[in-house]
Structure 1
């Protein structure tokens, strides 16, 4: 997940440093075609957005397959596409563990969250939490957590998009980079304010198709080069990596020290559990008409995402087999250029038309990926503000649907402006910690509260507040004082050292703490749990009786 900015930067640098500048019109054309196509889809969907249910949940009209495709598009970010390929290219087996972690995460979402959430809520996570709790404090906490997770995730994607586009187009000035970030932010605002959930869902479906098609193309070409013999591919990768058989065995990245072992456990826990608490993923379960469709959509998503991560074997090990480690790390020390470098290599090299075309396709797919994820995140955060905070906290449930949707659109503009400003400031920073933070917060604050609300009858408002705010603050503070932010050359601020927490991901500490605080707050609370409401929620979540 972490290398969103670096990978985008490196992809652009590779093109800028090649003699392929003559092919920039091709890249501009591909970008323009995608933007125009998605804007047309957004305007079309916007004309069909009449009610709050249309804006928040797409009218609950999407089929299980359509929603599964959209969920896949929302989940597979540019970091997944390019970052995992780089990790595998440099670290072999240990890099592939990322793919396994992302896929296993969907089993957690399917087993624990998808169907009960679809049955129990209406538009947001706050609907589920507030069903048996005091409305105003719980909705405020849920809205705050959703917005924090979304904005940190948005910052990484926005800055990544800005750097990717500016460098691919040969823009090197700070003013030009800021302008690109602003244009991406404006596109994001247009997608959400005009199209709502319908427009965003269709954009995500288009992006998913493009991503799978691009990955399939590269995978086919790599396997063709090795006569479709995976054993030869892996053997060549191990030999060319300079690490021999160790390249195909665990230990190159996460077995070197005790700290690295703990860091891997922490990252794995955050990825697997955080996915089931990501707000832009959770709201996707409301776009289908029934709980059965929600369950089926997750099944579709598992199949699509599983196929994609399976193809990362060809991307990562193909890069290791066809490129030397020096070629990869010279372009980017973290190895995040593996996929674009591989595309150019199997296309004939950076100076060839074939190589430039394949790089242009991969770059356009990466840009499409970022835009789709950005739109989903913005919709999740603006929906939570409008539905949870504005309608139910500020207006105390008296806002009309029209007023609620208007508030969501205003929130979209505000969140877009904040994202543009932060993305512009962070355009030259390593924002790896921001993506990791999003997953850690989701796993530390959102998931414990959701699970307790759905499955523990003694859970109280105090427990919910302790869990959300405790998980939120602990994960933020631990990342702030970790090597992600300071003390290392790859940190956000490499020239200072205020890191006292040794791990790069706080999940090992903050996730158990979120569960512990929810349990402890409920036990210490003087509030009597509403057993009747819990029984109603249990029946509703498990059977779908009375679901929207």
Structure 2
């Protein structure tokens, strides 16, 4: 078992860790440079020229989806809270069935580059595009908070940095690298980084899983017994309720979390945008099937890795390390294979963060440049090359905001932070997506009330929850600051039904009908792909 003393300083050799990091960043930058040579049009920059196969795109989706929350956050959550931590893995995986059955193919057939293309197809262009762009930017911001916090914890652990200033500097460097990747590579470069990262992450997690099982004689029961022993004989880590069964409030909080996880994936803008990088609807379906297999295999690994960290490192040592629970996976790597495996796994985790933040950033930039600048400001007729220039400038602004937000969220469990992003996405985006695709009567007023109502209610409830103030783990840690009026940590149980309800009621009350021909065209396009395929696909 790794001692707490080792966990609280830099495990392994910091120079070896930096060397492996540097090598990985150099290799991926070369790939991004090579992939970016054909980034001439908006289609090239946003959708990689629709040149990826279903298998490639499915791997990239897995790379985009398996974020720092999946690797660092969930392993840490399982190590600290056992069964209740594994519920994150289950929720994140089951969510893909909603994405596959309800939105993946239909969205790809209807839109061009962004979610707003779909939502504004048969509704009023300007107000709906503005609303969709705002919700996209907010969801990306919450998701970026989690990745930056994960980066800060990971690199701080490897370099033995425990002071706030040092961790803030680390987050700033990660943000600068992210900006560089996206400015140069666009969607094509980002996709290749995500494919490479998905392969490395699943392979690395697979090696660690086999290693943990080998240490325990390939006996999973023995591993669980070791985890209980290392937790001071706390058998509760094998049973439901350690985190979400303490009180009635925590049980409701769990239902709220589950709703957010299961419904959020189908409304995440950076995941939805990946469906536009394939040439046909058939390849879009293949993408999701590939993604489900790869993501499912990885989440099975997290169960072994989480309990492995509890058994070989110990909850106390994990809690004492820089980054707290987010350090569980790197510390497990150190306990298994020493400095080299630690450096390798940490480089993979770092790549995970870079790839995901790159995907988030290009989605946010595309939303602003395509939906606000090109479609609203320039009324669909931007100057040649101007849209991509605006997108690149937006990348820099988003990067700076993400750095500042990441510094504020440093120390929070990244799986938990991502769950907030899922709740905002499910509240602000999902009702409008579902209604637009399946309800003929749905109108612009219903869409705007649903999107803004879901977005505002989710953000206000998060601001008034224990996440921001009122507890030891809050973002605002001062005891004198406590405005946690809303008792739940995740707003999904209130904000998601509210957004569906607002869209439904306002549509019925306003009774304004949209263009029936546009509705019919959207229905045919979404179900058949006619009119959506690029010429080369026919």
| TM-score > 0.5 by shorter chain | yes
Shift of the alpha carbon at 1:177? 4.1
Q: 1:266 aligns with which of 256, 265, 269?
A: 256
Q: 1:28 aligns with which of 18, 28, 43?
A: 18
CA contact (8 A) 2:68 2:349 kept: yes
The aligned residue for residue 161 of structure 1 is 151
Please state if 1:402 is matched with 2:394. no
Q: 2:9 aligns with which of 11, 17, 35?
A: 17
Please state if 1:327 is matched with 2:317. yes
The aligned residue for residue 181 of structure 2 is 191
- Assess, with a 3 A threshold, how the Cα gap between structure 1 residues 332 and 49 changes in structure 2: closer, same or farther: closer
Q: 2:486 aligns with which of 486, 501, 506?
A: 501
Please state if 1:528 is matched with 2:513. yes
Q: In the TM superposition, what whole-angstrom CA distance separates every residue of 1:128-177 from its partner, at most 9, and x where no partner exists? A: 01110000000000001101111222133224324433452345666554
Q: Distance in 1 between matches of 2:516 and 2:403?
A: 45
Q: 1:513 aligns with which of 498, 501, 516?
A: 498
The aligned residue for residue 436 of structure 1 is 419
RMSD, aligned α-carbons:
2.4
* Count of matched residue pairs: 530
SS, match of residue 382 in structure 2: coil
The aligned residue for residue 460 of structure 1 is 443
Please state if 1:312 is matched with 2:302. yes
**Greater CA drift, 236-245 or 504-513:** 236-245
Shift of the alpha carbon at 1:243? 5.0
SS, match of residue 452 in structure 1: helix
CA contact (8 A) 1:433 1:479 kept: no
**Structure 2: which 5+ runs fail to align?**
534-538
SS, match of residue 53 in structure 1: helix
Q: Distance in 2 between matches of 1:19 and 1:210?
A: 22
CA contact (8 A) 1:16 1:168 kept: no
**Greater CA drift, 382-391 or 529-538:** 529-538
Shift of the alpha carbon at 1:246? 4.3
Within 5 Å, which residues of 2 pair with 1:1-12?
none
- Assess, with a 3 A threshold, how the Cα gap between structure 1 residues 377 and 517 changes in structure 2: closer, same or farther: same
Q: Distance in 1 between matches of 2:408 and 2:242?
A: 34
- Assess, with a 3 A threshold, how the Cα gap between structure 1 residues 86 and 51 changes in structure 2: closer, same or farther: same
- Assess, with a 3 A threshold, how the Cα gap between structure 1 residues 14 and 543 changes in structure 2: closer, same or farther: farther
- Assess, with a 3 A threshold, how the Cα gap between structure 1 residues 370 and 459 changes in structure 2: closer, same or farther: same
Q: 1:127 aligns with which of 102, 113, 117?
A: 117
Shift of the alpha carbon at 1:55? 0.6
Shift of the alpha carbon at 1:538? 1.1
Q: Distance in 1 between matches of 2:411 and 2:221?
A: 40
**Greater CA drift, 278-287 or 492-501:** 492-501
Within 5 Å, which residues of 2 pair with 1:68-147?
68-147=58-137
Q: TM-score, normalised by structure 2?
A: 0.93
- Assess, with a 3 A threshold, how the Cα gap between structure 1 residues 435 and 13 changes in structure 2: closer, same or farther: farther
Shift of the alpha carbon at 1:336? 3.6
Q: Distance in 1 between matches of 2:75 and 2:383?
A: 48
SS, match of residue 477 in structure 1: helix
Q: Distance in 1 between matches of 2:504 and 2:149?
A: 38
Q: In the TM superposition, what whole-angstrom CA distance separates every residue of 1:404-449 from its partner, at most 9, and x where no partner exists? A: 1111111112212222333345546778775333211100011111
Within 5 Å, which residues of 2 pair with 1:161-180?
161-171=151-161, 176-180=166-170
Shift of the alpha carbon at 1:15? 5.9
- Assess, with a 3 A threshold, how the Cα gap between structure 1 residues 356 and 250 changes in structure 2: closer, same or farther: same
Q: In the TM superposition, what whole-angstrom CA distance separates every residue of 1:174-225 from its partner, at most 9, and x where no partner exists? A: 6554443332222212211211100000111111112112111111111111
Shift of the alpha carbon at 1:334? 6.0
CA contact (8 A) 1:433 1:484 kept: no
